[in-house]
């Protein structure tokens, strides 16, 4: 079996898509069925392949993990509901307003033994006087999260909520990572607002660090209507753009080992300032695996790397598969490296020309192909959860993708320069100005498209099954057509042709 983690990760992702529809028991059965399928991959000498055996074992463990954790967490949260306790915890990701505060708690110790070692969503009806990374002692009342399988914090391991009534800070900056992330995020937000705290600055803050809380409802609705919501959340798209830009600067100026070290540290840095957002973790793990392949002079198989990252995350954060954002991210990523990659391999423009027109044609073809494939593969998810789909998304992505690249490149560079003592704030102004120009274009374009009402359709969630069948047929059709074309051209698939010198 050449790609064991493709089968493992694919099985886990497929099971996760079924969870909200058919429940955990059937989803675990799908994983067990995939494990049995692994035994079908025998080598030519008819002996059982060690890779096949290992693949089956991992899938069985994943199925057991999903079932047992469901029972374990259900038992804990039900016992903790409305329970008053005293806790010691580290706080982070604080959102403070005039009379309310919301934050995350990593519980170190508690008079309620069930809560020890858990994470919770903390809130109180007053402004917080602590900072991210501080350790506090507090009196709390635990509550169950509402709508647990769709709750935005449940997937990150925040299975319970805790209303904080009284607290005292017992250690400042107890968590250096959270403290560093908080200060860096505040600095980047300050840089984005340095030329005025308008809608463009709020959008720039959302794109750079995933701070969507300040983005207005009108902007969010316009973005959703154009099918470009993924551009507002910190995801693999953002990490890929930033890593691609840094890699272009490094690949001709540093040796292989130093390049891998710098890129790995850069991925970790982005993950920290984005508070280890689950989509960043998925993309970061995939990217680090590809970097490792580059270091040991082996071709990086992006499909297998994605499967490995998905498998690791499934064991660390099994409830992330109830997260709609992660499911959309994973499905879109598979669309990029799967069907879209196959189409670009089979029907790519095989030229390197200095002609601006030909480069523009190639850009349009690639962006439109990726956008169409991502739309089709995410269609079952958007229909089931939102009851709608933006069919205009391919055109929207074509018109807006370069503006996101511009916001990330100019905005991140300006934000990093902002931290330079004495001259940083002055030198960063031109970069922030350029980033806000791209943000202005983005806001204007999404508003025009959204107000036109073109391509936005309401689809009954009951039709999500048919959308899933359509997506599956599309994948198989693309696979067989592209395989036929590639066999005539006698070229290898993209995953095995990738130049280990480049991760672009």
What pLDDT score was predicted for residue 353?
Answer: 57
Query: pLDDT, tens digit, for every residue of 22-65?
Result: 666 777 777 777 777 766 654 544 555 676 777 777 778 877 77
Model confidence band, residue 187 (pLDDT cutoffs 50, 70, 90): confident
| pLDDT at residue 499 tops 50 | no
pLDDT number for residue 490:
54
Residue 466: pLDDT above 60? yes
Query: Tokens standing for 484?
Result: 């036929």
pLDDT, tens digit, 9 for 90 and up, residues 109-130: 999 888 888 888 888 988 888 8
Which has the closest alpha carbon to 236: 408, 6, 79, 470?
408
State residue 352's pLDDT score.
Answer: 55
Has residue 487 got a pLDDT over 80? Answer: no
Query: What's the mean pLDDT in 470-483?
Result: 87
Residue of 408, 82, 341, 386 lying closest to 229 (CA atoms): 386
What integer pLDDT is reported at residue 495 of this predicted model? 44
348 — pLDDT class (breaks 50, 70, 90): low
Are 139 and 167 a contacting pair, CB within 8 Å?
yes
Cβ atoms 211, 412 nearer than 8 A = no
Residue 379: which of 391, 366, 368 has the closest Cα?
Answer: 391
State which H helix or E strand residue 310 sits in: helix 302-316
Check if the beta carbon of residue 162 is closer than 8 Å to that of residue 140.
Answer: yes
Instruction: Work out the angle at residue 128's Cα, subtended by the Cα atoms of residues 125 and 131, and round it to the nearest 5 degrees.
Output: 150
Residue 151 has pLDDT above 50, yes or no: no
Tell me what pLDDT residue 222 has. 85
Q: Which two tokens stand for residue 285?
A: 């793990």
Q: Which two tokens stand for residue 243?
A: 């890593």
Alpha carbon distance 364, 366 (integer Å): 6
pLDDT in tens, 127-143: 888 888 889 999 999 98
* DSSP reduced 3-state for 89: strand
497 has a pLDDT exceeding 60: no
pLDDT value at residue 364: 84
| Residue 231's pLDDT band (cuts 50, 70, 90) | confident
When pLDDT is cut at 50, 70 and 90, the band that residue 501 belongs to is very low
Band of residue 250 on the pLDDT scale cut at 50, 70, 90: confident
* Residue 163 main-chain phi, psi, to 5 deg: -85, 120
The confidence score (pLDDT) of residue 110 equals 92
Tell me what the mean pLDDT of segment 208-235 comes to. 77
205-223: average pLDDT? 78
Helices (H) and strands (E) in the chain, counts: 18, 7
* Residue 130: per-residue pLDDT: 86
Question: What secondary structure does DSSP assign to 231-292, as a single string?
Answer: GTS--HHHHHHHHHHHHHHHTTTS-HHHHHHHHHHHHHHHHHHTTT-HHHHHHHHHHHHHHH
**Residue 345: CB atoms within 10 Å:** 18
CATH numeric code, 81-174: 2.40.50.140
Query: How is 26-53 classified by DSSP, letter by letter?
Result: HHHHHHHHHHHHHTT---TT-PPPHHHH
pLDDT in tens, 261-271: 888 888 888 88
pLDDT band at 82, cuts 50/70/90? confident
Mean predicted lDDT score pLDDT of the chain: 79
Residue 19's pLDDT band (cuts 50, 70, 90): low
Give the whole-number percent of the chain exceeding pLDDT 70.
82
Determine the average pLDDT of the residues in 201-225.
80
| CB-count exposure of residue 422 (10 Å: 0-12, 13-18, 19+) | exposed
Lowest mean pLDDT among 239-253, 406-420, 486-500: 486-500
pLDDT digits (tens, 9 = 90+) for 360-404: 888 888 888 888 888 898 888 888 877 888 888 888 888 888 898
Report residue 164's pLDDT band, with 50, 70 and 90 as the boundaries.
very high
For 422-440, write each residue's pLDDT tens digit.
888 889 999 999 999 999 9
Residue pair 439/203 in contact by the 8 Å Cβ criterion: yes
Whole-model pTM: value is 0.75
- Report the Cα–Cα distance between both ends of the chain, in Å, rounded: 27
Report CA Rg, the chain.
24
Q: Distance of CA 69 to CAs 27, 61, 106, 490, Å?
A: 14, 12, 19, 48
Q: Which of 378, 386, 404, 464 is nearest to 203 (CA)?
A: 404
- Give the β-pairing of 158-171 and 119-124: parallel
What integer is the mean pLDDT of 411-415?
90
Q: What is the pLDDT of residue 170?
A: 92
Exposure class string for 120-147: b at 16+ Cβ within 10 A, else e: bbbbbeeebebbbbbbbbbbbebbebee
């Amino acid at each position: 079996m050449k790609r064991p983690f493709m089968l493992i990760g694919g099985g886990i992702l497929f099971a996760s898509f079924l969870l909200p529809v058919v429940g955990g028991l059937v989803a675990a059965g799908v994983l067990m069925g995939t494990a049995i399928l692994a035994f079908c991959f025998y080598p030519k000498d008819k002996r059982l392949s060690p890779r096949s055996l290992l693949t089956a074992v991992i899938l069985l463990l994943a199925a057991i993990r999903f079932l047992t954790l469901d029972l374990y967490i259900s038992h804990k949260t039900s016992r903790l509901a409305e329970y008053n306790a005293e806790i010691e915890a580290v706080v982070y990701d604080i959102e403070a307003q005039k009379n309310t505060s919301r934050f995350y708690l990593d519980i170190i110790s508690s008079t309620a033994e069930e809560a020890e070692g858990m994470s919770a969503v903390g809130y109180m009806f007053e402004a917080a006087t602590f900072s991210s990374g501080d350790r506090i002692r507090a009196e709390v009342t635990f509550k169950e999260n509402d709508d647990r399988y769709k709750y935005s914090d449940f997937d990150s391991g925040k299975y319970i909520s805790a209303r904080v009534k009284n607290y005292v800070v017992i250690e400042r900056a107890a968590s250096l990572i959270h403290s560093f992330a908080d200060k860096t995020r505040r600095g980047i937000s300050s840089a984005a607002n340095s030329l005025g705290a308008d809608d463009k600055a709020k959008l720039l803050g959302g794109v750079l660090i995933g701070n969507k809380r300040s983005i207005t409802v009108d902007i969010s609705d316009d973005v959703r209507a154009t099918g470009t919501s993924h551009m507002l959340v910190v995801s693999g798209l953002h990490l890929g753009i930033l890593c691609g830009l840094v890699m272009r600067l490094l690949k001709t100026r540093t040796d292989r080992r130093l390049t891998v070290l710098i890129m790995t540290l850069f991925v970790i840095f982005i993950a920290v300032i984005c508070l280890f957002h689950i989509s960043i973790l998925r993309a970061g793990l995939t990217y680090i695996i590809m970097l490792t392949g580059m270091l040991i002079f082996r071709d990086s198989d992006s499909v297998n790397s994605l499967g490995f990252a998905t498998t690791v995350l499934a064991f660390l954060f099994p409830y992330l598969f109830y997260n709609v954002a992660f499911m959309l991210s994973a499905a879109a990523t598979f669309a990029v490296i799967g069907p879209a990659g196959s189409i670009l391999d089979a029907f790519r423009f095989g030229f390197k020309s200095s002609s601006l027109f030909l480069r523009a044609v190639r850009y349009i073809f690639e962006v439109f192909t990726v956008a169409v494939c991502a739309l089709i593969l995410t269609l079952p998810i958007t229909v089931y959860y939102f009851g709608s789909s933006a069919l205009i998304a391919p055109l929207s992505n074509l018109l807006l993708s370069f503006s996101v690249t511009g916001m990330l490149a100019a905005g991140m560079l300006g934000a990093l320069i902002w931290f330079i003592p004495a001259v940083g704030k002055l030198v960063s102004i031109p970069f922030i100005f350029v980033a806000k120009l791209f943000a202005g274009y983005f806001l204007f374009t999404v508003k025009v498209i959204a107000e036109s009402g073109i391509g936005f359709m309401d689809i009954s969630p009951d039709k999500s099954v048919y959308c899933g069948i359509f997506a599956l047929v599309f994948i198989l059709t693309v696979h067989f057509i592209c395989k036929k074309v590639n066999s005539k051209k006698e070229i290898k698939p993209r995953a095995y042709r990738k130049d280990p010198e480049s991760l672009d």
